[in-house]
Amino acid sequence: MVEEEEALPLDGNAHNKEIRETQKERGIKTRLWDFMLEPLYWFKMLAHELHWRFIFGVVIIYGMSQGLGGSLFNVSSDYYWKDVQKVQPSEAQVYSGVIGIPWIVKPLWGILTDVVPIAGYRRRPYFILAGLLGVASTLLLSLKKKVDVMFALLSMTAVSAGAAIADVTIDACAAENSMAHLSLAADIQSLCAFCSSIGQLVGFTISGFIVHQIGPKGVFGVLSIPFVLVSSVGILLKEQYVPNFAYKQVYQKFIDASKATFTTLKCGDVWRPCLYMYLSFALSLNIHEGMFYWITDPKAGPALSEESVGLMFSFGSIGSLLGLLLYQKVLKDYPYRGVLFWAQLLHGIIGMLDLILVLRLNLKLGVPDKYFVVLDEIVSKCTGRIKRMPLLVISSKLCPPGIEGTFFALLMSIDNFGSLTSSWGGGLLLHVLNVTRSKFTNLWLAILVRNIVRLLPLALLFLVPRSDPSSSILPAKITKAKEDEDVDKAGNIELVSLIGSTR
């Protein structure tokens, strides 16, 4: 009896221990499940707050057009210039800058969509026209047998223009929502970046295989599909019809929008961060084409195949996505200056990985090329994304009411002009150091110069606002002046936003 009585508590303790372990396991599974579903909850919250049509537009424009389509376009154009047109890397670097020019003139597309309706609609026609322009240009590149270099460059620039025009409307909506929902400004930019990163991940993953199977010209034909979806955004969009629009007033509306833009830019709280954004991109010299020619060279470099290159870029998209998640979960509430300081510093230091690769030091360390290039791509894209996110949030908060599309497009064109400067500066550097299709002796020096120049923006951080993303940046006098103007001149700058038109 004594033994049985003593055994009962032991059995009870064992049973209680089993229950506690079961509860613990259930708790872990519940937390893990909640963690996995958290992005869906976040996505659902944004769709509820910002309207599903805006979310649909972001997914198509950022995910399908810029993410998936952009990644396929980048890889195929690299091989197109190298294998089809057989140009030098410095020339290809310059051509890539020219293709980006439509993104520099984004204020033109922005002001057109803001003040010039077509057939009674302000947004729908521009989506549809952008899609048609992209479809025509990609099919022309794909189907025409012999293409002159200048004709190919013009066609690729037209493809870029279609993507840029479609991007402007979504940018305007993102800026408008950021001003209307200050607490969601970082989330909106994270949503855009998230869709872009996922699209890039898918695009780069399949890009090498597709280029290998059908060639770069065949890929251009595939790119017509994302542009068809861009047109679908305009077709599905429900927008208020504007009857009897007075086109004679367009000139005055251009003048009014330009004056409002110029007035805003004169404010120190606006032009200083704009100057930093330009310089931070311009001083990050782009020598991508030189590195691409080297890693695919069968003698001097690792001789990576199309599939390996696509896989490398896909891991870069994973790095970009990791940078986005890190910013969203940890860094989005920190002051801009602190985040930009560490991101810029790491961006310059991590660039030394390219130097290790080109000098073949990774082989001495026992790390194969294919693994090292993947590591390099992941960490460089991760820090690049962290560096870019605060600048996007700042841009979304600098847009004055009424000309969100025009002004945000202007800010993005400043970034793109910085990237163009970076690309042409990198092309000049490659040319001066005599890095060609078959000569890579001075490529290590180009990398070293690029990495040193990358650190220069650290001395310009005083141009960045001290505030954090939860605070407003635009001076009160700008918003108040706009409110007074609206009272005196109602309808002077008419905007029918994608969000407002679908509620």
pLDDT greater than 90 at residue 449? yes
Give, for 373, the enclosing helix (H) or strand (E).
Answer: helix 369-396
The number of distinct structural domains making up the chain is: 1
Residue 96 domain-assigned? yes
pLDDT greater than 60 at residue 106? yes
Model pLDDT, residue 125: 85
CATH at 373 = 1.20.1250.20
How many whole angstroms separate alpha carbon 355 and alpha carbon 361?
A: 9
How many whole angstroms separate alpha carbon 46 and alpha carbon 51?
A: 8
Higher pLDDT, 476 or 229: 229
Per-residue pLDDT band at 11 (split at 50, 70, 90) = low
Whose CA is closest to 170, among 498, 501, 503?
A: 498
Cβ(119)–Cβ(239) below 8 Å = no
Per-residue pLDDT band at 24 (split at 50, 70, 90) = low
Lowest mean pLDDT among 101-110, 364-373, 445-454: 101-110
pLDDT greater than 50 at residue 159? yes
Residue 156: partners with Cβ closer than 8 Å, 6 or more residues away: 77, 95, 99, 137, 141
pLDDT greater than 90 at residue 41? no
Virtual CA dihedral for 446, 452, 456, 461, nearest 10 degrees? 120
And the tokens for 415? 């970034």
Residue 459 domain-assigned? yes
- Radius of gyration of the chain, Cα coordinates, nearest whole angstrom: 26
Give residue 395's domain range. 50-240+253-487
Cβ(432)–Cβ(195) below 8 Å = no
Residue 278: partners with Cβ closer than 8 Å, 6 or more residues away: 414, 415, 417, 418, 421
Q: What is the mean pLDDT of the chain?
A: 80
Residue 178 CA, chain-centre distance (Å), reads: 17
How many whole angstroms separate alpha carbon 410 and alpha carbon 398?
A: 11
How many whole angstroms separate alpha carbon 326 and alpha carbon 496?
A: 35
Backbone angles phi, psi at 464, to 5 degrees: -90, 140
Cβ(77)–Cβ(193) below 8 Å = no
Residue 461: partners with Cβ closer than 8 Å, 6 or more residues away: 276, 337, 340, 341
Model pLDDT, residue 133: 93
Residue 158 domain-assigned? yes
pLDDT greater than 80 at residue 282? yes
Residue 281 domain-assigned? yes
Model pLDDT, residue 355: 92
Residue 7 domain-assigned? no
Report the predicted TM-score, pTM, of the whole model to 2 decimal places: 0.67
Q: What share of the chain is helix, strand, coil (3-state, %, to 5)?
A: 80, 0, 20
Higher pLDDT, 316 or 171: 316
Handedness of CA 481, 483, 484, 486 (dihedral sign): positive
Which stretch, 9-18, 184-193, 478-487, has highest mean pLDDT? Answer: 184-193
Residue 344 domain-assigned? yes
pLDDT greater than 80 at residue 183? no
How many whole angstroms separate alpha carbon 432 and alpha carbon 445?
A: 11
Cβ(136)–Cβ(465) below 8 Å = no
Handedness of CA 375, 381, 382, 387 (dihedral sign): positive
Helix, strand, or coil here: 470? coil
Residue 125 domain-assigned? yes
CA count, 13 A, side-chain hemisphere, 11:
6
Cβ(413)–Cβ(419) below 8 Å = no
How many whole angstroms separate alpha carbon 474 and alpha carbon 271?
A: 11
And the tokens for 87? 């140009």
How many whole angstroms separate alpha carbon 91 and alpha carbon 94?
A: 5
Residue 11 domain-assigned? no
